Chain A
Amino acid sequence: MFAMTINTAIPMQRLLTLGLAALFATAAHAAAPGITGPTFNLQASQAYITQPDGQAVYSWGYGCNGAPGGYAPAAIGGAFCNAMQLPGPTLIVTEGQTVTVNLTNNLPAVAGNTSMLFPGFNVTTSCAATVPAGAPGLLTCEAAPAATVSYSFVAATPGTHTYYSGTQGDLQVEMGLFGAIIVLPKAPVADAACTDTLAPAGNNATARSTWGEADFRLSTSAYDHPATCYDREYLFQFSEMDPAIHIAALAQVTAKAGCSAGAVGCSLEVPTEPYHPAYFMINGRSMPDDMDPNYAPMYPSQPYNGNPHMHPGEITLLRIIGQGRWQHPFHEHANHVRILARDGNLLLNAANTLAGPLMFTTTTTPGVAMDGLFYFTGRGLNWDMYGHNGASADANAKLPCTPDANGYNTGAPTAINYFEWCQDHDKPMQAAPFGDVPAGGPVTLPDPNIFKNGTWYGGSPYLGPDATTRATFGTCTGLNSTTACSTTGTTPPSGTVGNNPSKEAGFAFMWHSHNEREITTNNIFPGGMMMMMLVDSREFVIDESQ
């Protein structure tokens, strides 16, 4: 039935090709896309997923059985939900809704039964009341090959939840049968009532509309609590794969093709120990594939990406799930994450304020979902990250910064430097810069002849295309000279095609597993559980659609 395309001969070339393709693609973005219910017709079925080393890995996953009720967020076009996905479709429902999932087992007969677990919800099933209870060892109602069962529950608590197979989990979850449920609060908090935002009500929306950015949120708050409001959201599901298990499964599925379900010998005997995972994925993709767009056509069974973007000051909701069987320490560069909730349970104190910890490494645990808030402002850098220069001829280099009660420039939502940390406004970083950025700062940057530019380097230490252009190509006073510079800078931003300095020039931060061996793809670095998060200046429009 399926041809095995194990392509061991040219993994590196393939990696490079895909990597470059990713770099030259239009900037890809993430959000938390999924399908809407409250009734979901799903199936478990088989397909190949692709990995950046060129391998096509035989896998099982949940997918749509017919067109879903809808897709969200609406601003992401080109959505699809194929028969098999890894992870399964993200089920987006609203608190209080009665959710029904009809699951059809379209796995090969030899795989036997399958099922779905919805931890944290009280589930009723289509099985007779005695079936799960009377069948020892069963966690829930199981669908026999080609059969359909249904699960129903009230989405009682908002937040991020997981679902996964409750049947022979060591094999079926390894093969890819898992996904996420996002429950949106019934009464999301209105902007004016939010207590966690650092901007005046309505100003973030004004900033979005100024630059023509769509709203990619599923809701305005993660919970029915005013300290859970957010401006952007991303879902990250961590899982790993041992290719030996997938190869063994495929071999047996192929050898026993056409056997009758339940017949003697019509079952899989795939060893799941010893366990040697070699693929470490976020949302079913390994870096750099995870930075390609959502619903990218080359990943028909891996529709979701991992490529967060945000502007300074925007509150970003991270929905993090540990799938699979291993723990993965997810390290977020650039700031801490305030953990809001665990498995959809908001962590509050008696005063009804946030009580979750702050972490720079959010340690995922199998089966556990976390919600957390993150932002970046650049507060305390002690230099003006926009490279403002009062002596410049560029109007954008002379924008004012008026501190609010927190010290941020939030009164100017239409300005490039909306949310600038005003205490460092105009403050120079470089002792003697080349370009049109202020001089007299504390540091001398290294000679460009003796460093290597990174792929996501914005081209200068400064944020945004205006500042980066000034810092590298601007009319300027030369280093130790009073003559005008030429138009080529001292920090040539060559090799930064992934973060074109004339367009984006954002601050790139790596978000990755800190079990560092997991940022590899089948022993090749870079790869695996890694992505770049981009903080973008306001003049770069973050478009999370394709």
Chain B
Amino acid sequence: MKPVVIQDMTIRFGGTTVLNDVSLSVASGECFGLVGESGSGKSTILRCASMLYKGWTGDVLIGGQSVRSMDPMERCRVLQMVFQDPYGSLHPRHSVRTVLAEPLRIHGIGEQEARMRQALIDVGLPVEFLDRYPHQLSGGQRQRVAIARALILEPDVLFLDEPTSALDVSVQAEILNLLQRLRDEKGFTYLMVSHDLAVIDHMCDRFAVMKTGDIVEVLPRDAILDGTAKAPYAQELIGASLTYEQAAM
């Protein structure tokens, strides 16, 4: 259980500023959502904070420690990420066993077999799946494997990059419930990107609305339904999403 604080994160790709002095803080054990249209920089925040992108300024503190000064190996054991597309985030030629054993091998952790089994049980997959390959799994099962991979190093903070947007609606609910159960059991801090306000409503305690690299407003979950958003863009986004959902019904 560690809090995450992002301070003045700025990144430019070429001439365009993708993130402009973004600051936010997530309490330990909280689920914090990031919403916004495509290209507003939601996923970029996660990729910068996990040091997948290097050329950014500002700082990210996890449990009071800067990710920059953290030892890379230690950082892996504090912070893990679940990616958007389970079809692209699992190596097509690695069996589930290889996928789960790699991080254990890299970090020299013993009792591999028991840990791999436990990780699969945690995400609700049968232990026999260890010898399957990604193409033998469905999308939801793949995402469960990806979550198991993130869990196996026992991190404190999980970054979720639209973990359900590539999945069917029914499977989405399963994965979201799984993520919620894991948070209750292990007390993860979640930082979750989504463009689906229903998902945010289901999962998050608070969320930030983003537009072109800026945080427009940070809102509690209730603001989705009671319309307490003050910023016009946030109102617009929530309104559009609500009318869309009514139309869908």
Partners in one complex: no
Instruction: Please give the residue numbers on chain B whose beta carbons come within 8 Å of chain A beta carbons, in ascending order.
Output: none
